[in-house]
């Protein structure tokens, strides 16, 4: 039984996996935004914020997310060949930790129960709903208590996987020291990536640098310029092949030079025309290929 793994001291180790030696390729699954509780919030129209806040702690429920996530785990466990790991790129829960602490604890229990049935090791990436849109030292500490480190690396058969907390690039006003620490650590990991020690190097984060084009305007679902351009250049110069993201609740993506940004839609509620799903990624000696797979479960929204 595998379930959800936790990183400590900025490192995560996949059970039973050779970390540094290339064999003959493998698959893994990338998913995002199971976000237990989001479907309930979609019943509120724009401008109903006060009503939403007043009802959330008492009435928010996540039966749809439990259904979708259970179907995801069943599909994941049935995949042949078995993926080496699954990774959820943020927003495991909907309840913001600083505002809805009680509901967050209940959502976390549901998440642990359902994801704990995974026979494939699962890795979690920090999203904005996991630490708040403007994280604080307290919300970061809560995340680390619940899920483990919010930035770390792991390796699988000579593929280096770098996991970062993208919220520090969206709003770090209350956590400047945390951001500086991640930046210093990331520079070290990118030097390792550049060294040629690994066959491929991948990055996983929640918020995409861009949705379709590197020069697109800033909006809620991407990260701002000029930081965007600086970081894309830094990743590309280090030899990063692909950056996997979530957050958009739709499929999207594009290229910066020959580096691909992959934006994967949600296990949970959709904001576009895609169906609930996940991405199967095949890693070969020459590159990375991926395909979005629908969960084929209940796909209608509740309200």
Q: What is the pLDDT of residue 95?
A: 96
pLDDT at 69 over 70: yes
The dihedrals phi and psi of 90, each to the nearest 5 degrees, come to 95, 165
The dihedrals phi and psi of 41, each to the nearest 5 degrees, come to -70, -20
Q: Which pLDDT band holds residue 53 (cuts at 50, 70, 90)?
A: confident
Question: In whole angstroms, what separates CA 152 from the centre of its chain?
Answer: 13
Q: What is the pLDDT of residue 1?
A: 56
- Record the tokens describing residue 114, joined without a space: 């359902």
Q: Are 212 and 261 in contact (CB under 8 A)?
A: no
Indicate the burial class of 215 (C-beta count within 10 angstroms; 0-12, 13-18, 19 or more): exposed
pLDDT for 126-182, tens place per residue?
A: 999 999 999 999 999 999 999 999 999 999 999 999 999 999 999 999 999 999 999
Indicate the burial class of 221 (C-beta count within 10 angstroms; 0-12, 13-18, 19 or more): middle
């Amino acid at each position: 039984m595998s379930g959800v793994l936790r990183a400590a001291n900025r490192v995560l180790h996949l059970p039973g996996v050779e970390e540094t030696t290339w064999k003959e390729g493998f698959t893994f699954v990338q998913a995002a935004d199971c976000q237990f509780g989001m479907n309930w919030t979609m019943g509120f129209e724009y401008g109903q914020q006060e009503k939403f806040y007043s009802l959330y702690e008492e009435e928010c429920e996540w039966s749809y997310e439990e259904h979708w996530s259970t179907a995801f785990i069943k599909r994941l466990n049935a995949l042949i060949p078995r993926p080496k790991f699954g990774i959820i790129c943020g927003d495991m829960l909907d309840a913001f930790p600083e505002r809805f602490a009680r509901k967050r604890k209940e959502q976390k229990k549901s998440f642990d129960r359902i994801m704990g049935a995974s026979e494939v090791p699962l890795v979690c990436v920090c999203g904005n709903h996991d630490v708040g849109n403007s994280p604080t030292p307290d919300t970061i500490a809560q995340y680390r208590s619940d899920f483990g480190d919010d930035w770390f690396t792991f390796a699988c058969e000579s593929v280096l996987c770098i996991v970062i907390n993208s919220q520090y690039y969206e709003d770090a006003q209350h956590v400047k020291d945390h951001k500086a620490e991640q930046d210093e650590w990331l520079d070290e990991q990118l030097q390792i990536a550049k060294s040629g020690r690994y066959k491929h190097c991948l990055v996983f984060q929640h918020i995409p640098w861009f949705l379709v084009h590197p020069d697109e305007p800033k909006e809620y679902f991407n990260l701002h310029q000029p930081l965007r351009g600086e970081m894309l250049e830094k990743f590309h110069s280090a030899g990063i092949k692909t950056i996997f993201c979530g957050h958009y609740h739709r499929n999207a993506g594009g290229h910066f030079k020959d580096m691909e940004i992959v934006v994967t839609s949600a296990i949970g509620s959709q904001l576009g025309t895609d169906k609930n799903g996940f991405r199967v990624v095949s890693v070969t000696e020459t590159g990375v290929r991926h395909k979005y797979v629908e969960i084929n479960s209940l796909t209608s929204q509740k309200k």
